Amino acid sequence: GSGRRTLVAGNWKMNLNHLEAIALTQKVAFDLKPAELEAVDVVVIPPFTDLRSVQTLIDGDKLKLAYGAQDLSAHASGAHTGDIAGSMLAKLGCSYVVVGHSERRADHHEDDATVAAKAKAAFAVGITPILCVGEVEAIRVAGTHVEHVLGQLAGSLAGITAEQATSIVIAYEPVWAIGTGRTASAQDAQDMCAAIRGKLADLYTGTIAAGIRVLYGGSVKAANAGELFTMPDIDGGLVGGASLLADDFVGIVRSSP
């Protein structure tokens, strides 16, 4: 809403080998009309092992898609076996990197300080973080979800400057809606995204907050994307399951206002 450019990002998670990645990226790029790709920022976020293939395809054919990674190391380089540095992602042409996804917060015990360090590492190499926050179901049931998510947001933005914040993307992803087929109602999602924007105004300025894109994620499908994306404080979506099939993902992009 409010003049911000819609962003639809497909988080493939730990799915698709490099051949499947090429096929999916090609189909998404060719099914969407040039005007549709002009109007929305469409991003694919494959596993690390697919990035080189996706890069070669997108660059070689000058496809109007952006791509990014699902995680990066907080460290710049060195003795961190199995990790991937931001500079490596930048060299591959990644525009975005997801930080603080709930699956990483849960599976890898990433806390807000780690997420903030990763966001800083992304900015250090000129990559835009898509910073994820969201409450688990027990917190929603207890009714403390807004303060919980705003706390996560402040902690995950610690040390991020106002200049950096102008280009960040925030994704509100209620954990109980991720991969479950249960979507937050458009109004509940809007309420949280508005609260997030209010917190961004407190942390930075109202002008900066008004320019930051806040996405909703959690069982977004073509059937619900239109309603979600037209809410005033929701600027697009972070899409998991429905980003793995070209028709579904294209349908979501087409639902963008």
Please tell me the distance from the alpha carbon of residue 137 to that of residue 185, in angstroms, as a whole number: 14
CB of 228 to ligand PEP, least distance (A): 12
Q: With binding defined as CB under 6 A, does residue 190 bind ligand PEP? A: no
**Does residue 11 have a known ligand-binding role?**
yes
Choice from 71, 173, 233, 235 touching ligand PEP (CB under 6 A)? 173
Range list of β-strands (E), the chain = 7-11, 41-45, 66-69, 96-99, 128-133, 169-172, 213-217, 236-239
Considering CB under 6 A, how many residues would be counted as binding ligand PEP? 14
Choice from 12, 68, 241, 252 touching ligand PEP (CB under 6 A)? 241
Q: With binding defined as CB under 6 A, does residue 179 bind ligand PEP? A: yes
**Does residue 13 have a known ligand-binding role?**
yes
Please tell me the distance from the alpha carbon of residue 229 to that of residue 77, in angstroms, as a whole number: 38
Choice from 8, 178, 192, 253 touching ligand PEP (CB under 6 A)? 178
| Known active-site residue 101 | yes
Please tell me the distance from the alpha carbon of residue 74 to that of residue 162, in angstroms, as a whole number: 20
Q: With binding defined as CB under 6 A, does residue 193 bind ligand PEP? A: no
Please tell me the distance from the alpha carbon of residue 243 to that of residue 8, in angstroms, as a whole number: 10
167: left (phi over 0), alpha (psi -120 to 50) or beta: alpha
Catalytic residue among 101, 110, 135, 145: 101
**Does residue 176 have a known ligand-binding role?**
no
Stretch that binds ligand PEP, among 52-60, 89-97, 123-131, 173-181 (CB under 6 A): 173-181
**Does residue 251 have a known ligand-binding role?**
no
The distance between the two most distant Cα atoms of the chain, rounded to a whole number of Å, is 51
Cβ atoms within 10 Å, residue 57: 18
Please tell me the distance from the alpha carbon of residue 56 to that of residue 202, in angstroms, as a whole number: 41
Q: With binding defined as CB under 6 A, does residue 11 bind ligand PEP? A: yes
Q: With binding defined as CB under 6 A, does residue 32 bind ligand PEP? A: no
| Known active-site residue 173 | yes
DSSP state of 243: G
User: Which positions make up the binding site?
Assistant: 11-13, 179, 219, 240-241
- Any idea which residues carry the catalytic annotation? 101, 173
Q: Which residues bind ligand PEP (CB under 6 A)?
A: 11, 13, 173, 178-179, 217-220, 238-242
